[in-house]
Amino acid sequence: MYEFEFKRPGSVAEAVAALGSEEAQILGGGQTLLPTMKQRLAAPAVLVSLGGIGEIKGVCTDDAGRVCVGGGTPHAVVAVETADSYPALSHLAGHIGDPAVRNRGTIGGSLANNDPAACYPAAVLGSGATVVTNNREIAADDFFDGMFTTALEDGEIITEVKFPVPQAANYQKFLQPASRFALTGVFVAKFADGVRVAVTGASEEGVHRWTAAEEALSANFSPDAIDGLSVSADGMISDMHGSAAYRANLVKVLTKRAVAAAS
């Protein structure tokens, strides 16, 4: 590690001001940034920790019935506090990483990092959630922009994520046992006006929607509706853990499992 200045503001306004420092970077739960710094792949001069900002922590339900999760809320808290209001989200959060990661990592940090194999992006995109920052609200379909890239601008902080609660939902993750990331993960959510299917871990473009499955499931919310569909291996990740064809097959298998579990 090397020398850097550490700031721990007590409010979002103070954090935004601190980010005005040259070469300043936000520190959420630190589950990605700190290991990256230890490997000297990142070298911010100033770390602005969001850990002391109480206003961006916690879970509640708004007047529209949406489950609202503060951007600074650890995964373990999300798992416990959404168990009744959004069981699929609770299940997803409760199986991220290990206990150490779940107690330190935050939903806002995960979404801002947008790792192509992270779980939360699938929940946000699959739910049609809204990402709230200190400046604006961003629809899930407009937030993710490829591997490790989002619509966030410099100095923008995720303060809250608003999840519409579907009629039925489930998340299926094929675990990569060493990292505990998703080798492939699928989040399925059934709403009154249709079904959303979000895939993580499989594609080089990062989290994305499987529109063909959405159309089939909107007409018939049953695992059988997926039988006639195929997933192309083009653009899928291929590495030592699984080939592109393997991941393409997992997308279909996990979608069917998620529909069966949600039903």
Angle between helices 87-94 and 120-127 (to 10 degrees): 170
Q: Do 200 and 240 share a domain, yes or no? A: yes
Q: Do 93 and 37 share a domain, yes or no? A: no
Q: Do 38 and 17 share a domain, yes or no? A: yes
Q: Do 93 and 142 share a domain, yes or no? A: yes
pLDDT at 24: 87
Q: Which of 140, 163, 186 is the last residue of a domain?
A: 163
Is residue 119 within 8 A of residue 173, CB to CB? The reply is: yes
Q: Do 180 and 91 share a domain, yes or no? A: no
Q: Do 9 and 100 share a domain, yes or no? A: no
Maximum Cα interatomic distance, the chain, rounded to a whole number of Å: 58
Q: Which residues of the chain have pLDDT under 50?
A: none
Q: Do 185 and 107 share a domain, yes or no? A: no
Q: Do 127 and 102 share a domain, yes or no? A: yes
Q: Which of 119, 139, 163 is the last residue of a domain?
A: 163
Tell me, what amino acid is at 115?
D
Q: Which of 133, 163, 193 is the last residue of a domain?
A: 163
pLDDT at 1: 64
Q: Do 133 and 200 share a domain, yes or no? A: no
The phi, psi pair for 233, rounded to 5°, reads -80, -10
pLDDT at 125: 98
CATH classification at residue 156: 3.30.465.10
Q: Which residues of 214-225 are buried (b: 16+ CB within 10 A; e: fewer)?
A: bebbbeebebeb
Q: Do 154 and 63 share a domain, yes or no? A: yes
Q: Do 11 and 44 share a domain, yes or no? A: yes
CATH classification at residue 227: 3.30.390.50
CATH classification at residue 23: 3.30.43.10
Three-class HEC string of the chain: CCCCEEECCCCHHHHHHHCCCCCEEEECCCCCHHHHHHCCCCCCCEEEECCCCHHHCCEEECCCCCEEEECCCEHHHHHHHCCCCCHHHHHHHHCCCCHHHHHHCEHHHHHHHCCCCCCHHHHHHHHCCEEEECCCEEEHHHHECCCCCECCCCCCCEEEEEECCCCEEEEEEEECCCCCCEEEEEEEEEECCEEEEEEECCECCCCEECHHHHHHHHHCCCHHHHCCCCCCCCCECCECCECHHHHHHHHHHHHHHHHHHHC
The phi, psi pair for 29, rounded to 5°, reads -85, -15
pLDDT at 40: 84
Q: How many domains does the chain have?
A: 3
Identify the domain containing residue 228 by its residue range: 168-262
Tell me, what amino acid is at 8?
R
Q: Do 61 and 159 share a domain, yes or no? A: yes
